[in-house]
Amino acid sequence: MKLSVVIPAYNEERRIEKTLRAVSEFLKRQAFEYEILVVNDGSKDGTSSVVQKLAGVIPNLKLIDNKENHGKGWVTKQGMLLATGDIRLFMDADDSTKVDEVVEFLPFFGQGYDIVIGSRRIAGSNIAVKQSFFRDFLGGVFRFIVHTLVPVGVTDSQCGFKAFSAKAAATIFSKQKIYRWAFDVEILAIAGRKGLKIKEVPITWINDSESHVKLGGMINMLLEVIQIRFNLWGGKYK
């Protein structure tokens, strides 16, 4: 078995080295093959330089260096389709969920699941550092909108720690059309439309104080969720 770890990165110069070293230390102790793909989304800082330097000392680390910004969904799609692993995990560059959690995911693929996603909303999950009340409130509003317009059958569509079989990744990401705010909702909606089997697993999550979702971002998310609803009605994911 080979695991691909895909890490989308935009202006992560200050945080990416710590995350990559932690990911590498964990993976080096495992019995399976692995690769680490950092997909730079046109960062304006030194993100790509940091990753290139680390590629000389961290085994199986590769940089996909985009010079223009396209959105987290765009680079996630790029990384997942270029990955070569039997299982393909994407995780956040801020290390809000440690890569170690994937150990709990892997057995479910042997049980017939196509996708295994982390959840901060089900029993057994642990939010080690909570986000602000306002951000939590906005998250609750967004979840209500998603459940109303595009029910995807999970409690936490936005957790940035999701694993896919190679076949599921090829099926879903080749159909993806949303590249910024609501791409997580879209890939789960596509999975549902394709009849793929999804398992939610509780994870430990640490809120990063540097990560902020403002009201404008929530409005953009809403507009993209509406677009996904129209795409579903229009058969765009066939």
The verdict on residue 42 lying in a domain is: yes
Where is pLDDT greater, at 79 or 141?
79
pLDDT at 174: 98
Average pLDDT over residues 179-184: 93
Across all residues in the chain, what is the average pLDDT?
91
| 145, two tokens | 């909108």
Range of the domain at 83: 2-233
Q: Is residue 97 in some structural domain?
A: yes
Task: For residue 218, name the pLDDT band (cuts at 50, 70, 90).
Answer: confident
Average pLDDT estimate for 177-182: 94
Please state the rounded mean pLDDT for residues 39-65.
97
| Mean pLDDT (whole number) for 74-93 | 98
Return the pLDDT at 209: 56
Cβ-contact 194, 180 below 8 angstroms: no
| 160 domain residue, yes or no | yes
**Would 57 be classed as within a structural domain?**
yes
Any domain includes 201: yes
Q: Which pLDDT band holds residue 20 (cuts at 50, 70, 90)?
A: very high
Does 189 map to a domain?
Answer: yes
To the nearest whole percent, how much of the chain has pLDDT over 90?
78
Please spell the DSSP secondary structure of the chain, one letter per residue.
Answer: -EEEEEEEESS-TTTHHHHHHHHHHHHHTSSSEEEEEEEEE--SSSHHHHHHHHTTTSTTEEEEEESS---HHHHHHHHHHH---SEEEEE-TT-SS-GGGHHHHHHHHHTT-SEEEEESSSTT-EEEEPPPHHHHHHHHHHHHHHHHHS--S-S-TT-SEEEEEHHHHHHHHTT----STTHHHHHHHHHHHTT--EEEEE-EEE--TT----HHHHHHHHHHHHHHHHHHHTTTT-
Residue 238 lies in a domain: no
Reading the block at residue 217, the tokens are 């971002």
**Mean pLDDT confidence for 160-186:** 96
CATH of the domain at 219: 3.90.550.10
- The answer to whether the predicted template modeling score (pTM) of the entire model surpasses 0.85 is yes
pLDDT band at 238 (very low <50, low <70, confident <90, very high): confident
- The number of distinct structural domains making up the chain is 1
